[in-house]
Amino acid sequence: MPLIELFVSVSAPENVETVQKEIADMMAKAIGKPVDFVMVRIAFDESISFGGTMAPAALVKLGSIGKISADENKKYSEVLCNFLESSFQISPERTYIQITDYERQNWGWNGSTFG
């Protein structure tokens, strides 16, 4: 059930659905979970100040049940930063990523929880 939320200070491209599918596929592969359970949310045109400037920046929130560790998190950070730089021209130096390991019993889906 990975959840990827991107808050970016750039405008939405014309192909938003394609971008969201690309992120879902990319992160499903990186995390090793089925894309059927990956949710992607992107908020464009966010007002983000980073380091005292309004240059393009991003805040990413990545959450998953399991598959979160120091080594895995470095891989996720690299994958996400590379994507943001190539797709939206947002420098990795202007990106923060919050990574959360959710407990199964605290994540609901389909009228129940995963735990």
Residue 2 appears among annotated catalytic residues:
yes
Q: Residue 65 and residue 57: Cα distance in Å, rounded?
A: 27
Q: What is the DSSP letter of 12?
A: P
Q: Residue 84: how many CA atoms within 13 Å on its side-chain side?
A: 28
Query: What does the block give as tokens for 30?
Result: 């990186």
CB 26 within 8 A of CB 82: no
Query: What does the block give as tokens for 2?
Result: 């990975």
Catalytic residue among 2, 13, 34, 56: 2
Q: Report the phi/psi class of residue 45: left, alpha or beta, with left for phi > 0 and alpha for psi in -120 to 50.
A: left
Residues with active-site annotation: 2
